[in-house]
Amino acid sequence: MQSIAYLGPPGTYSELAAIAFGDDATAYLPLASIPAVVTAVETGAATSGVLPIENALEGSVTTTLDLLIHETSLRIAAETVIAIRHHLVARPGVSLTQIEVLYGHPQSLGQCRRFVERCLPHVATVASLSNSAAPAEALADSRPAAAIAPLRAAELLGAHVLARDIQDRATNLTRFVAIGAGDSRPTGDDKTSFCFGFDRGDRPGSLVEALQVLAQTQINMTKLESRPAKEVFGQYIFLVDINGHRDDPRIAAALAQIQARTGFFKVFGSFPVWR
């Protein structure tokens, strides 16, 4: 039985991503946290999992990156992009001017900063674990409360929509990845994601030397960012996405050269590019 774990409860954007990934899925498993999704796949409680990894407005989801770097050997097997449309929802009968508290996932609160500052300037905000937990908490609050939520979550819970599309930008998108025991076979239009660090400490030109391998082999780098190494203050892990599949001899040779020039090295997986 194919089952997909995702950050729940039902109604989250992660559920929408799971549905997009799950052509062959027979069950969906909503869990309370991103680490729980990873553990479910590692232990066989789910066949695969869905993790948010990057938002167009707020940047990378650091919890997901740190899990991939430090905690799991699961591979990225696919990616998809979901349009994020946030709505302000509340109990039927609650008006915008009555709201005393606003619930929202921290990422969603950040993505709707302009609306909150302009329309709810004196309202207390409360962080929720997910985009569907937020409306549930608002409905359970005895005070006039509202939440930032997807339309699906509002419909599932019977909440009333007070304002639509309150995100700061219409181009608000989140990239999700599917993780499992292995990555995908080459399709001819693939991406490889990996990371590396330097165990020998800082040395002038060390990062450039590693990345020059890509330039010398004409491999396109589509993303570069860093995360703290979490062992020594001031040391970082560099995360890279490139075009091509790790099973391609040219890509494999370049990865081997980068690994030889670095200390810590880890491939997250190769997977089809989302179009």
Is residue 176 part of the annotated active site? The answer reads yes
Superfamily of chain region 87-163: Periplasmic binding protein-like II (3.40.190.10)
Q: Which of 152, 172, 149 is nearest to 102 (CA)?
A: 149
pTM for the predicted model, two decimal places: 0.83
Task: Return the pLDDT at 275.
Answer: 82
| pLDDT of the residue at 200 | 63
Q: Which of 176, 194, 198, 271 is catalytic?
A: 176
Q: Average pLDDT of each block of 10 consecutive residues along the chain (275 residues)?
A: 88 89 82 94 95 88 95 96 93 95 92 95 92 92 95 92 92 93 94 90 79 94 92 86 96 95 93 92
- Catalytic one among 12, 47, 174, 192? 174
Residue 62: CB atoms within 10 A of its CB come to 11
Please enumerate in sequence order all residues whose Cβ is within 8 A of that of 225, keeping only pairs 6 or more positions apart, or say none.
60, 238, 239
- Is 57 within 8 Å of 172 (Cβ atoms)? yes
Residue ranges, comma separated, of all CATH 3.30.70.260 domains in the chain are 190-272
- Predicted pLDDT of residue 118: 97
Catalytic (active site) residue 12: no
Strand partners, 124: 101
Architecture of the domain delimited by 190-272: 2-Layer Sandwich (3.30)
Start-end ranges of CATH 3.40.190.10 in the chain?
3-84+172-180, 87-163
Instruction: Give domain 3-84+172-180's CATH superfamily.
Output: Periplasmic binding protein-like II (3.40.190.10)
